[in-house]
Copies of this chain bind each other. A is one copy, B any other.
Amino acid sequence: MRLFPAFLIFVSVSLSGYAQTDEEMLRKIYDEALTSSPVYENLHYLTKRIGHRLAGSTQAAAAVEYTRQLMEAYGFDTVFLQPVMVPHWVRGDKEQCRMLSALRGQDNLPVIALGNSVGTGPDGLTAEVVEVHDFDELKKLGRKQVAGKIVFFNRPFDYTLINTFRAYGDAVNQRGSGAIEAAKLGAVAVLVRSMASQVDDVPHTGSLHYADGVTKIPGVAISTRAADLLSATLKQDPELKIYIRTTCEYKGMVPSYNVIGQLNGSEKPDEYIVIGGHLDSWDVGEGAHDDGAGCMQSIEVLRLFKALGIRPHHTLRAVMFMNEENGLRGGRQYAAEAERNNEKHILAMESDRGGFTPRGFTLGDDKLLQKVKEWAALFAPYEIYEFQPGGGGADIGPLRKQGTKMVGFLPDSHRYFTLHHTANDVFEAVDKRELEMGAATMTALIYLLDKYGVE
């Protein structure tokens, strides 16, 4: 086994765009990450000493200061805060959701308010329920059957999709736009099946959107098992009612920051490569996988460059984006500032799919995808095989309009949607080696793209 990669490299030097020294450098990157990396300890601080950190919260402010100090302590060439205004939304009291059925009596359902939602007010609301699985079904019902009711969106994940992000993508419009579509037909609230890859008792929050000119109605998510129970009970007792009480509230726009650390490029200092995650999280759990892991890994990429004495050709930036979860203000602000300052961003990589075992990358540009695939043999010793077309990440998305090439870090996805946006997304759900392997894998690709360019 030990001879095999060496043989491959020998053949590849002339065929592919890399050299034997690259193989050695990747080995050094992984060795350093697996033996001497502080990435797991850093995540421990962020999750246990600071905790969850929704944009506008005191914890978000602490996380800004923590990551600024951390990057200063690592001696990056420049560390600075980029101001950005963010929405400040608060959850209020513990949410309540009760199913009131002549058949079953009262059942409390595990519930969580959706982010950005208005509250029901302190008295709550009670109404009949109409179950639908998509917007077409909702529209066919029409105003007559929807007005005055709670719309229950109950389309589950497709479990047969191997990458769970595809299942999430197929289901998530119920949560994101359900309140708009339901309100257009006179609904009083929406109840959404949690965006989860299994049936259990854990409710998942996540952002809900409103539209100008459409009444803002409250939205909550119930656990997948509660959704199955409600659906089954509705079949026997279509007149059952649901009581919901939430006191969430939008408190206006407040100042916050993206946090940026930089290593200056030696050959093309005016060309930027961004590696980032989002510093904010939902206000439950600890935002460990989403996206404390991605933030700590992004900082670790630059730390690994420094620790191994690799001077980047281009200027590298680790960017902690603020407010991905309920506004994307940080990502938009970063792109706007880059435009205003004429900073040419040639590449952006985001880690926002959790701190799980690395499997590979998604690449938004087909030529770049082909180029990266030529490096496959360099990654195989680390069990990295997935080089797929796909997006980079929400925060870096706004850079696309200046032609920046997008890369998404792709960890194993099987566990992500059991804890995404829940109270279970805590430090203990992150494995040290998996997190370190991810940071090393991100660094390895950044090393190659910085060295050989993205064209």
Contact = CB atoms under 8 A, between A and B. Distances in A.
Interface of A: 1, 30-31, 34-35, 159-160, 162-164, 197-198, 357, 359, 381-383, 385-386, 388-389, 412, 414-415, 418, 431-434, 437
A18 B162 CA distance: 22
A348 B309 CA distance: 49
B35 A414 contact: no
A361 to B, nearest CB: 13
A201 to B, nearest CB: 14
A156 to B, nearest CB: 10
A159 B34 CA distance: 6
Given A30-B160, A31-B160, A159-B433, 20 more contacts: A30-B162, A34-B159, A34-B160, A35-B159, A162-B381, A162-B382, A162-B437, A163-B383, A198-B432, A198-B433, A357-B412, A383-B385, A383-B412, A412-B412, A414-B431, A414-B433, A414-B434, A414-B437, A415-B434, A418-B432
Contacts of A197: 433
Contacts of A159: 34-35, 433
Most buried by B among A163, A359, A382: A359
A383 B383 contact: no
A187 B452 CA distance: 58
A35 B412 contact: no
A434 B164 CA distance: 12
Most buried by B among A31, A35, A381, A412: A412
11 contacts: A1-B388, A31-B160, A35-B159, A162-B437, A163-B383, A357-B412, A357-B414, A385-B385, A414-B433, A415-B434, A418-B431
A81 to B, nearest CB: 34
A385 B380 CA distance: 9
Contacts of A412: 357, 383, 412
Contact of A431 (B31, B163, B415, B432): B415
Nearest to A434: B414
A1 B164 CA distance: 15
Contact of A357 (B198, B357, B382): B357
Q: Which 7 residue pairs across A and B have the least CB separation, nearest first?
A: A385-B385, A414-B433, A34-B159, A31-B160, A415-B431, A414-B434, A357-B412
A4 to B, nearest CB: 10
Contacts of A437: 162, 414
A232 to B, nearest CB: 18
A452 to B, nearest CB: 24
Contacts of A357: 357, 412, 414
Contacts of A433: 159, 164, 197-198, 414-415
Contacts of A1: 388-389
A385 B359 CA distance: 10
A265 to B, nearest CB: 29
B30 A383 contact: no
Contacts of A359: 383
Contacts of A31: 160
A357 B415 CA distance: 9
Contacts of A34: 159-160
A163 B415 CA distance: 20
Contacts of A386: 383
Nearest to A159: B34
Contacts of A432: 198, 418
A35 B159 CA distance: 6
Contacts of A381: 162
